[in-house]
Chain A
């Protein structure tokens, strides 16, 4: 079969698209322990969604149901009524992973700034996975726990530093009052 036949092109395109997904997925920390076969299983349960420029992906205050991985495009993460820009995320980056564990309200709003294609991985799919394929489910949950533990450690350090600064300030204030 010649390279430029219609079928050849169709298959080549499909392969290219698939390998793109795997490249994106393998960069996401919670999937980093999975092999290619397992990534293929993940790809089957992910929801691919397309958003137009300025379309809202998720709104602050809505219940969280899962995480989003940006396959292609750009997303702004904004906070509060004043829409303070927290982050600009693009290809391969992800957000909303806490919602995989708990249905707490979303802490920020995500808006697509250009036409964006995302992959949604949801709590229900993760729970389903832990039932149908516990080994794989465990690998993902372990990575998720590790990621959150790491974040907690950073927050603790930050918290301690802030406490130190606060007590310093309090001490300074006290000494000023005394003098």
Chain B
């Protein structure tokens, strides 16, 4: 009898413990987000630091060089891109006013009147609905940049955390491993190594691919003289991480913007061709080069991950959902393999 009571008490303590952890995670979600982003950046930059180390630099100097280069590039690019990016976002919001889209929408209304006269166009109230929808999107985009990830955390806290993770990450890992009990030590070491091998390639591949696709999209849209080419290109790069839906989701904003600004059919055809070429380059050249095939996530899992990420952390959560799903998959499967191989349970 006492045995059962003891077990019951232990169960209650475990549930309370989980609840406290859940509450802490929820309350500290902003800080956790910063830690996750910093960890990802440090993890992606790690091979670069190791490369400099292999060239004879100390880890400290390698980290300092990466940071200096990063800030110089960021300052140079930021001086050009960020004002344009903010400008484009606020212009997008302003120009999607009734005046900006009237021409396009009234032409659609005319078309409907001429061909489907059984539909009462006035009752559809197309113009207002589309305007509300579009300004809603840009409002959200602006608020993400301005509020959710505050400028301070982007400019100060994240680089600060990344710096120390990059410089002392290996030592931190060693200290963490030293706390693992002897019985689980070899298994833990093996599992961490396996996760590192698989995830390293996967995450770096994902971000390199997103970066190159984004850059190609920006260049293509700039050549085609599409307005807000930087915003749309960056979005296309990030959306590219989501299979099947991503590439289409990247092209749609470009087409909408072009339509709103009175673009004709040939222009839209050019945009579609441009995105098709970018996709072709991605599929034929980039994917075989950068993507590690070890993390095969089913498209359904990715879609659910993106939805869950969006539910909890907004658009930022949606963008980080794919790598996060990859991390969870690799960690759980390697942990399971490790536990089985080492006969722990």
Contacts and interface: CB of A to CB of B under 8 A. Distances in A.
Contacts of B186: 58, 62, 65-66
Contacts of A47: 174, 177-178, 185, 189
A63 B174 contact: no
Nearest to B191: A65
What size tier do the contact residues of chain B reach?
Answer: 10 to 19
A74 B293 CA distance: 45
Contacts of A163: none
Contacts of B192: 124
A131 B185 contact: no
Contact of B54 (A48, A59, A66, A134): A134
A103 B182 CA distance: 19
B111 interface: no
Nearest to A134: B54
B342 A62 contact: yes
B316 to A, nearest CB: 32
A128 B54 CA distance: 10
A82 B4 CA distance: 38
A58 B192 CA distance: 18
20 contacts: A45-B170, A45-B174, A47-B178, A47-B185, A48-B178, A59-B343, A62-B186, A62-B341, A63-B341, A65-B186, A65-B189, A65-B190, A65-B193, A120-B185, A122-B193, A124-B192, A124-B196, A128-B50, A132-B53, A134-B54
A68 to B, nearest CB: 10
Contacts of B189: 47, 65-66, 122, 124
A128 B174 CA distance: 13
Across the A-B interface, give the 10 residue pairs with the lowest CB-CB distance, nearest first.
Answer: A124-B193, A132-B53, A65-B190, A132-B50, A63-B341, A132-B54, A65-B186, A62-B342, A131-B50, A65-B189
A57 B341 CA distance: 16
Interface in B81-113: none
Which residue of A57, A123, A124 has the most chain B CB atoms within 10 A of its CB atom?
A124
Contacts of A132: 50, 53-54
A55 interface: yes
Contact of A55 (B177, B178, B182): B182
A7 B174 CA distance: 27
Contacts of A62: 186, 341-343
